[in-house]
Amino acid sequence: MKLDVTAMRYITKKEFRVLTAVEMGMKNHQYVPTELISSISGLKHGGVYKLLGTLAKHKLVHHEQRGYDGYKITFLGYDFLALRALLKAGEVASVGHQVGVGKESDIFLCANEAGEQMVLKLHRLGRTSFRTIKNNRDYHGNRSHASWLYLSRLSAKREFDYMSALHTAGFPVPDPIANNRHCVVMSLIEGSPLSQVRVVDEPALLYERLLAMVVKFAEHGVIHGDFNEFNIMITADESDIVVIDFPQIVSTNHPDAEMYFDRDVHGVVRFLRSKLKYEADVPPPDLADIVRVSDLDVAIQASGYNHEASELDQHHEAHGGAAASAVNGASSGNESDAAEPTTGSGEGQGESEYGNSDGDVDGDNRSSEVAPEVDAEAAEGAEQSGTRRRRRRRKKEYDPKKDTSAVRSRLKRQQRQKARFKRRNRVKNRSAIEDRRAAKERW
């Protein structure tokens, strides 16, 4: 989608207010009703219609009439809201031309108030070439339905968090600057993608550095998952390499961690063999031989980071659950046994008054004779009171419109009445016809 920010200077505060109301209403509506937009924005109903028409003319909202007037925000409207927030925060002052486009994002140049150039990345999940998001990414969690705007927002938030953690850990990644909705602002890398490089002075050194980067990721407990020539930037003097794009970072505890690691390694080997005509003599590293030095996957909550923890919990539940319940039962039993003699009512009092479980009687023990009668009377009284309560509840909660049997009987009664009316009308019509015939004969 083309980003045209020229119209942004003509959008008024009230129009941004209505646009924000549409965004808030889309939390639980696919198309937000006009009444709800008016209620959220706090504006008059008639004025909201006019403002929505202006927003629709600029293609910031999309209007749909499915039994009611509904609006949803477009990606361009989402861009305007995010850029306005970044502008108010002083992170971005201007937006330049587009420098890149991918299957799930658009890349633009931007600048701050000091004139320093930066990169503005707009996540746009849901394109035709990237419809398998729910199989390839876990942004949506366990949700069965989620809008592409919401998934784009989660994708941008995750990339910013990953980039911040990797930058703090000393990895060669762009400097994270700001994040708002589906936008990520980062530092500009003066270089070119590795995919555009055709000649390298020292391919062996490049091969060694790239594989060292893959190993370093694994030592910190994460795997890039998409480590190829399109996600690696190299400076003009080939002195530095910078890793970008972190949508598929997974933990080394992920069930498919070995597959992801081998794919990253194979991507490096394949690129050097096919593009740079370099065949390495050193065997590629193996994930099983790498020693873990930190838990970066836990810090950033990478996909699969709690795989071992979940297995450990399942093991405890399977093997330690019975023992734990036995211990808890024993402890609760001991507590009840200790507390029973000190109680002044209930079974403990009855036992101390009339006798014990061994049958030693201290007095006139009538508990075995009286208890069944009392229990029977109490049970009968409780049953009668319960029956009365249920009857009162049914009488109070009865709704003839919800009673299917009542509805069926009412319909049958109406059908019988209609049939009776039809028969009566037929008889009347027949008698009238006979009267007319008799009158004609007389004449």
- Cα distance between residue 49 and residue 55, in whole Å: 10
- 100 and 170 belong to one structural domain: yes
Of 273, 307, 341, the last residue of a domain is: 307
Closest CA to 165 of 300, 364, 352: 300
- 206 and 302 belong to one structural domain: yes
In the chain, how many domains are there? 3
- 53 and 147 belong to one structural domain: no
Give a yes or no: residue 364 inside a domain: no
Q: Could you tell me how many residues make up the chain? A: 443
Q: Kindly report the CATH number assigned to the domain that includes residue 30.
A: 1.10.10.10
Contacts of 176 (CB under 8 A, 6+ apart): 160, 163, 164, 167, 184, 185, 186
Burial class (CB in 10 A: 0-12, 13-18, 19+), 227: buried
- 200 and 299 belong to one structural domain: yes
- 272 and 197 belong to one structural domain: yes
- 182 and 195 belong to one structural domain: no
Q: Kindly report the CATH number assigned to the domain that includes residue 153.
A: 3.30.200.20
Query: Within 10 Å of residue 35's Cβ, how many Cβ atoms?
Result: 12
Domain that holds residue 303: 191-307
pLDDT at 417: 86
- 214 and 179 belong to one structural domain: no
* Token pair in block for residue 329: 């039962």
- 158 and 233 belong to one structural domain: no
pLDDT tens for the chain, residues 1 to 443: 678 888 898 899 999 999 999 999 999 899 999 999 999 999 987 889 999 999 999 999 999 987 888 999 999 999 999 999 999 999 999 999 999 888 888 999 999 999 999 999 999 988 654 455 555 555 545 554 568 899 999 999 999 999 999 999 999 999 999 999 999 999 999 889 999 988 888 899 999 999 999 999 999 999 999 999 999 999 877 788 999 988 789 999 999 999 999 999 999 999 999 988 888 888 889 999 999 999 999 998 888 877 444 443 343 345 444 333 333 343 344 443 333 333 333 333 333 333 333 334 343 433 334 344 444 444 555 555 566 666 666 555 555 555 566 677 778 888 888 888 888 888 778 888 888 888 888 87
Of 188, 217, 247, the last residue of a domain is: 188
- 112 and 216 belong to one structural domain: no
Give a yes or no: residue 438 inside a domain: no
Q: Kindly report the CATH number assigned to the domain that includes residue 260.
A: 1.10.510.10
- Cα distance between residue 129 and residue 105, in whole Å: 12
- 26 and 117 belong to one structural domain: no
Give a yes or no: residue 257 inside a domain: yes
Give a yes or no: residue 22 inside a domain: yes
pTM of the shown model: 0.66
- Cα distance between residue 73 and residue 52, in whole Å: 11
Give a yes or no: residue 418 inside a domain: no
Give a yes or no: residue 348 inside a domain: no
Of 167, 188, 209, the last residue of a domain is: 188
Give a yes or no: residue 417 inside a domain: no
- 52 and 124 belong to one structural domain: no
pLDDT digit string (tens) for 30-71?
A: 999 999 999 999 998 788 999 999 999 999 999 998 788 899
**3 state SS for the chain:** CCCCHHHHHHCCHHHHHHHHHHHHHCCCCCCEEHHHHHHHHCCCHHHHHHHHHHHHHCCCEEEEECCCEEEEECHHHHHHHHHHHHHHHCCCCEEEEEEEECCCEEEEEEECCCCCEEEEEEECCCCCCCCCHHHHCCCCCCCCCCCHHHHHHHHHHHHHHHHHHHHHCCCCCCCEEEEECCEEEEECCCEEEHHHCCCCCCHHHHHHHHHHHHHHHHHCCEECCCCCHHHEEEECCCCCEEECCCCCCEECCCCCHHHHHHHHHHHHHHHHHHCCCCCCCCCCCCHHHCCCCCCHHHHHCCECCCHHHHHHHHHHHHHHHHHHHHHHHHHHHHHHHHHHHHCCCCHHHHHHHHECCCCCECCCCCHHHHHHHHHHHHHHHHHHHHHHHHHHHHHHHCCCCCCHHHHHHHHHHHHHHHHHHHHHHHHHHHHHHHHHHHHHHHC
- 303 and 225 belong to one structural domain: yes
Active site residues: 226
Give a yes or no: residue 216 inside a domain: yes
